[in-house]
Structure 1
Amino acid sequence: MINIVLICAAGMSTSMLMQKMKDSAKKRNLDISVLAMPEGRLDTHKGQIDILLLGPQIIYLEDKIREIYEKKGVKVAVIDMVDYGSMNGDKVLDDALLLLE
Structure 2
Amino acid sequence: MADKTIMLVCSAGMSTSLLVAKMQKAAQAEGVDADIFATASSDAPHMLKEKNPDILMLGPQVRYMLNQFKAQVSDIPVEVINMQDYGMMNGEKVLKEALTSIDSFQK
Shorter-chain TM range is: over 0.9
Matches of 2:89 and 2:6, distance apart in 1: 16
Q: Which moved more, 1:21-30 or 1:36-45?
A: 36-45
Instruction: Give 1:74 deviation, angstroms.
Output: 1.1
Runs of 5+ unmatched residues, structure 2: none
Is structure 2 residue 28 aligned with structure 1 residue 20?
Answer: no
Structure-2 residue corresponding to 1:64: 68
Which of 8, 11, 14 aligns to 2:10? It is: 8
Instruction: Give 1:47 deviation, angstroms.
Output: 1.2
Matches of 1:22 and 1:75, distance apart in 2: 20
What SS is found at the alignment partner of 2:51?
coil
Q: TM-score w.r.t. structure 1 length?
A: 0.94
What SS is found at the alignment partner of 1:30?
coil
Q: Which runs of 4+ in 1 moved over 2 A?
A: none
Instruction: Give 1:43 deviation, angstroms.
Output: 1.6
1:16-55 map, 5 Å: 16-45=18-47, 46-55=50-59
Runs of 5+ unmatched residues, structure 1: none
Query: What is the number of residues matched between the two proteins?
Result: 99
RMSD: 0.7
Q: TM-score w.r.t. structure 2 length?
A: 0.89
Instruction: Give 1:90 deviation, angstroms.
Output: 0.3
Matches of 1:19 and 1:69, distance apart in 2: 25
Which of 93, 96, 101 aligns to 1:94? It is: 96
Matches of 2:35 and 2:51, distance apart in 1: 11
